[in-house]
Structure 1
């Protein structure tokens, strides 16, 4: 749970950049390829990450242009642009409308009462959760997966080491 807006801003800035790093390794062709009947496509995962930002934030009273969850993108560029806009809008709304004290206020969230500091944590953790799913789908599609919290398999050579198995 966040107690300071500045802590959220720092974390969101990193996580948002990490998400864009991942999205930018998608290809238009990879978006709709199905790896398994029970697994979302890369398009669905990336779009869910993107649309969830405004969906969750709006439950707290923040208001900014929402991305239509049902209007699936056709290109990676559309996903990246929509994500950048949603991410920027979230930060702008929080900077303008919230204070550290605001993080203690509670909102109705999915049948429960959450402090806004918790909601911000959930927004970040939700993104990380689905981003991890997306990396698995990307591997199965033969796409390069960038390192986010450390080197990815392909990046070990940059450190003069063999890829870890």
Structure 2
């Protein structure tokens, strides 16, 4: 039952992430709010990359992210990032649909080489925290980037300020 809800949430939120990524203008991909921040292009590519991590998180009990190699386009090419996103969503969808309620209870660990960086924890917690919430966190950052550069923010959970009479 929980797995069914996770799959439904995934599908709904993929659409929201797509809307957000499509709202990013190429002219602003180099923007970053501070010296320690990612550029808008780097942040958008990171959001697209998280969907790739579903495969390792959902199909392997120990995921060594250092051993995984994902080909990415340039961070200054929003079309490359959108293509990466769409490709990774398909992989994520397949990995999520390969799960069972029982597999959600199996412990999972993330390593970078020999160093454990996350876990062990039940895979169901990994889905919610490391995958879903991680994307939501970075989408929130992206909304701030869009507003800081004077761009329109798409409504993800209803109308935005810009959609209201106040924002026009």
TM-score, with structure 1 as normaliser: 0.82
Q: Hey, what does 2:75 align to over in structure 1? A: 73
Q: Hey, what does 1:136 align to over in structure 2? A: 144
Deviation for aligned residue 1:66: 6.0
CA change 1:59–1:14 in 2 (3 A) is closer
Q: Hey, what does 2:113 align to over in structure 1? A: none
CA change 1:59–1:4 in 2 (3 A) is same
Q: Hey, what does 1:86 align to over in structure 2? A: 88
Q: Hey, what does 2:106 align to over in structure 1? A: 105
Please list every run of 5 or more consecutive structure 1 residues that lacks an aligned counterpart in the other structure.
none
Distance 1:42 1:80 in 2: 13
Match of 2:38 among 37, 40, 54: 40
Q: How many equivalent residue pairs?
A: 155
Deviation for aligned residue 1:27: 1.3
For 1:11-49, what per-residue CA distance to the aligned partner results, in whole angstroms no more than 9, with x for missing partners?
111111111101111111111123322322111111111
TM-score, with structure 2 as normaliser: 0.81
Distance 1:163 1:30 in 2: 21
Deviating runs (4+, > 6 A) in structure 1?
A: none
1 or 2 for the larger relative contact order (CA 8 Å, sep ≥6)?
Answer: 1
Tell me the C-alpha RMSD between the 2 structures. Answer: 2.3
Secondary structure at the residue paired with 1:67? coil
